[in-house]
Chains A and B, each alone.
Chain A
Amino acid sequence: GENVEQHLSTLSVQEGDSAVIKCTYSDSASNYFPWYKQELGKRPQLIIDIRSNVGEKKDQRIAVTLNKTAKHFSLHITETQPEDSAVYFCAAHPTSGTYKYIFGTGTRLKVLA
Chain B
Amino acid sequence: DSGVTQTPKHLITATGQRVTLRCSPRSGDLSVYWYQQSLDQGLQFLIQYYNGEERAKGNILERFSAQQFPDLHSELNLSSLELGDSALYFCASSVVPGQGGEQFFGPGTRLTVL
Contacts and interface: CB of A to CB of B under 8 A. Distances in A.
B102 A49 contact: yes
A43 B56 contact: no
A103 B43 contact: yes
A27 B50 CA distance: 22
Interface residues of A, number: 25
A100 B101 contact: no
Contact of B45 (A42, A102, A106): A102
A46 B103 contact: yes
Nearest to A94: B98
A31 interface: yes
Given A43-B90, A44-B90, A98-B55, A105 B42 contact: yes
Nearest to B91: A43
Contact of B55 (A44, A45, A100): A100
B42 A99 contact: no
Contacts of B102: 34, 46, 49
Contacts, number: 62
A95 B105 contact: no
Contacts of B97: 99-100
A99 B56 contact: yes
Interface string B9-50: 000000000000000000000010101000001110100101
A32 B101 contact: yes
Given A31-B100, A46-B103, A98 B48 contact: yes
A100 B103 CA distance: 11
A95 B98 contact: yes
A99 B55 CA distance: 8
Given A46-B102, A98-B56, A105-B42, 13 more contacts: A31-B100, A43-B106, A43-B107, A49-B102, A93-B100, A98-B48, A99-B55, A99-B56, A100-B48, A100-B97, A104-B42, A105-B41, A106-B42
